Amino acid sequence: MKKYLSFFRIRFTNGLQYRAAALAGVATQFAWGVLEILMFKAFYSYNQEAFPMDFSALCSYIWLQQALLSLYMVWFYENEIFDMIISGNVAYELCRPISIYKMWFVKNMASRLSKAALRAFPILLVAAFLPAPYGLALPKDITAALWFLFSLTAAFLVVIAFCMIIYICCFYMVSSLGIRIVAAALAEFLTGAVIPLPFFPEKVERIIRFLPFASMQNLPLRIYSGDVYGVQLYEGILLQLFWLMAMILVGKMLLSRALRRVTAFGG
Amino acid sequence: MGLYLKYLSIQVRSAMEYKTSFILTALGQFLVSFNVFLGIYFMFQRFHEVEGFTFHEVLLCFSVVLMQFALAECFARGFDAFPSVLSSGGFDRIMVRPRNEILQVLGTKIDLTRLGRMLQAVIMFIYGVYKSETDWNALRIITLIFMMVGGVAVFSGLFLLYAAICFFTLEGLEFMNILTDGAREHGKYPIAIYGKKVLLFCTFIVPYALIQYYPLLYVLGKSDKSWYMLLPLIAVLFLIPCYLFWKFGMRHYKSNGS
């Protein structure tokens, strides 16, 4: 356990060094959030009736989404790991007395968390001071807040477990770029990063709700604003845990199969 | 021009060495913007109209922006890789050659996988044109061509600006994304829906509205001010400050050693 903690610490402090980049990132995210909200506002003022969630809930959703982007972006990978697999340097990692799955998992957690630590707070702070419907509202009540934190963590782990599967797929093919882009594009849409899931047509949404992608950013952000509560909430959390387990299992299985037949490319 | 074509043929041949990867990447590019299309489609399933624009009109708008962007990106994204060229000292090599620097930077990367995006834009465009019930005449078609020219110029100018900033910072700055990728993503809707302030910004600071909103009004027959059709050509002037800034940056540039 201790060794994984130190992997985490090295990665995390390493990530904290890029402050200027984070500042630029904050500015971008903020501008992005503003445009997104203005866009939805145009639809909202055209037809309030057809709006599937509260406007202020939507604004909170967008601000959290922008602030927590680095936790939930499915298109973000550690290039180092891909390089390692492709160059065959992964063989060195295999010599170490550690679980490669756990190590990569922890590294991913650390670099995402360090990014988020630098970026989330300025965005949340400014968003909290914006005037009423446009800003970040407080969570509905204390239970919603607690469930939000829980589901936030679960969603974060689900994202990483998903990314792990993509890394591992690399063992099975020479060029990984294609699968990465295709997976990222699919995930991006189905997690609700393009438009929140409630804006999908009802029939489509009913199916997507059960996919692992809905267990990523969709659930915690909607719990926060009180858009998901009661039975739906418990169902959502259970589903999250299920997908987390399932994807970790699949990832580990694929990895051990890959390692059994691994012949490092080149030398 | 001959030199650029030479660069182009080298890039095409090198991309074709890895065919599957090329196709998959192009497919990925296609999917990324297809997401945006689905987003619009789902929104209009629910709302049918926004600020007086129908689904097909928005589709037309989005496809034009996407085409402008894809074209600019295919051929001017060399600037995107510029930070790494600069930090590896590759730019020093470029500067000692007796050719135009911009041309050489452009030649370092011509990314044809972006054609996946182009393909989608073309399909959407055809569908949008077919459905939007605009009666086409010569003037409107010319306006569209002007929009293409202006759009490619504006996006290329932004890529140039992005590269020029690197002279000062030695690395790309993320906030430029909002001006390039952001414009592509948010340019899917006519700019006016984002409100007055954004429209003003996009008219006078970075002329997105000149290549998208105003000429579109004319093409769709929502406005009969025929001088709107000339606005995209004025947007081409945006290249001038970008170019001057690049020149300025180059004068400022001292090799970073390595």
CB B46 within 8 A of CB B13: no
* Backbone phi and psi for residue A201, each to the nearest 5 degrees, phi listed first: -60, 145
What pLDDT is stored for residue B244 in this prediction? 92
Contacts A205 to B, Cβ<8 Å: none
What pLDDT is stored for residue A172 in this prediction? 82
Q: Is the pLDDT of residue A127 over 80?
A: yes
Best residue in B17, B20, B31 for a mutation probing chain A (most A CBs within 10 Å):
B31
Best residue in A45, A58, A189 for a mutation probing chain B (most B CBs within 10 Å):
A189
Structure tokens at B85: 């060229």
Average pLDDT rounded to a whole number, residues A155-168: 93
Best residue in B193, B200, B205, B213 for a mutation probing chain A (most A CBs within 10 Å):
B193
CA distance A243 to A213: 9
What pLDDT is stored for residue A263 in this prediction? 60
CA distance B184 to B69: 7
Contacts B171 to A, Cβ<8 Å: 21
**What's the pTM value of the predicted model, to 2 decimals?**
0.86
Higher pLDDT, B112 or B232: B232
Q: Is the pLDDT of residue B241 over 60?
A: yes
% of chain B residues with pLDDT over 70: 95
pLDDT tens digits for B57-103?
Answer: 899 899 999 999 988 888 777 777 777 777 777 777 777 777 777 77
A181 touches chain B (CB under 8 A): yes
pLDDT tens digits for B147-180?
Answer: 999 999 999 999 888 888 888 876 666 778 888 8
C-alpha distance from residue B145 to each of A62, A111, A206, B204 (Å): 36, 46, 43, 22
Best residue in B18, B35, B196 for a mutation probing chain A (most A CBs within 10 Å):
B35
Structure tokens at A213: 């992608």
Name the DSSP class of B206.
S
- Asked if the Cβ–Cβ distance from B32 to A188 is below 8 Å, we say yes
CB B143 within 8 A of CB B235: no
pLDDT tens digits for A36-68?
Answer: 999 999 999 888 888 888 898 899 999 999 999
- Closest CA of chain A from B15, distance in Å: 13
Owner of token pair 């360090």: A114
Structure tokens at B214: 């105003």
- Asked if the Cβ–Cβ distance from A181 to B28 is below 8 Å, we say yes
What pLDDT is stored for residue B115 in this prediction? 76
DSSP string, B213-231: HHHHHHHTTS---GGGGGH
Contacts B38 to A, Cβ<8 Å: 189, 194
Q: Is the pLDDT of residue B21 over 80?
A: no
- Asked if the Cβ–Cβ distance from A42 to B193 is below 8 Å, we say yes
Q: Is the pLDDT of residue A267 over 50?
A: no
Using CA coordinates, name the residue in chain A closest to B26. A178
CA distance B135 to B126: 14
What pLDDT is stored for residue A264 in this prediction? 54
Nearest-CB residue to B50 (from A42, A200, A201): A42
Average pLDDT rounded to a whole number, residues B13-23: 74
What pLDDT is stored for residue B114 in this prediction? 74
A-B contacts (CB, under 8 Å) = 106
Interface residues of chain B, partner chain A, Cβ below 8 Å: 18, 20-21, 23-25, 27-29, 31-32, 34-36, 38-39, 42-43, 45-51, 171, 173-175, 177-178, 182, 186, 189, 193-195, 198
Q: For residue A73, what pLDDT band results from cuts at 50, 70 and 90?
A: confident
Q: Is the pLDDT of residue A236 over 50?
A: yes
Dmax of chain B from CA atoms? 60
What pLDDT is stored for residue A146 in this prediction? 93
- Asked if the Cβ–Cβ distance from A43 to B182 is below 8 Å, we say no
* Backbone phi and psi for residue B53, each to the nearest 5 degrees, phi listed first: -105, 135
A188 touches chain B (CB under 8 A): yes
Query: Of the given ranges (A165-169, A183-187, A263-267, B48-52), which has the lowest mean pLDDT?
Result: A263-267
- Asked if the Cβ–Cβ distance from B20 to A43 is below 8 Å, we say no
Average pLDDT rounded to a whole number, residues A130-152: 88
Q: For residue A101, what pLDDT band results from cuts at 50, 70 and 90?
A: very high
Mean pLDDT of chain B: 83
Average pLDDT rounded to a whole number, residues A135-161: 91
Average pLDDT rounded to a whole number, residues A88-100: 82
- Asked if the Cβ–Cβ distance from A182 to B24 is below 8 Å, we say yes
Q: For residue A7, what pLDDT band results from cuts at 50, 70 and 90?
A: confident
Higher pLDDT, B140 or A158: A158
Mean pLDDT of chain A: 87
- Asked if the Cβ–Cβ distance from B50 to A186 is below 8 Å, we say no
CB B167 within 8 A of CB B105: no
* Bridge partners, residue B141, by sequence: none
Q: For residue A262, what pLDDT band results from cuts at 50, 70 and 90?
A: low
- Asked if the Cβ–Cβ distance from B194 to A35 is below 8 Å, we say yes
Kindly tell me the sign of the dihedral angle through the C-alpha atoms of A242, A226, A57, A24.
negative
Count the helices and strands in chain B (H runs, E runs). 15, 2
Q: Which one, of B184, B239, B176, B237, lies nearest residue B212 by Cα?
A: B184
Nearest-CB residue to B35 (from A179, A194, A204): A194
Query: Of the given ranges (A34-38, B10-14, B190-194), which has the lowest mean pLDDT?
Result: B10-14
Using CA coordinates, name the residue in chain A closest to B186. A35
Average pLDDT rounded to a whole number, residues B237-243: 91
Q: Is the pLDDT of residue A22 over 90?
A: no
CA distance B156 to B247: 15
Owner of token pair 């506002």: A41
- Asked if the Cβ–Cβ distance from A185 to B35 is below 8 Å, we say yes
Contacts B39 to A, Cβ<8 Å: 189, 194-195
% of chain B residues with pLDDT over 90: 16
Which spans in B111-207 are helix H? 115-131, 138-169, 176-179, 181-186, 196-204
Query: Of the given ranges (A36-40, B106-110, B180-184, B196-200), which has the lowest mean pLDDT?
Result: B106-110
Q: Is the pLDDT of residue A105 over 80?
A: yes
What pLDDT is stored for residue B184 in this prediction? 85
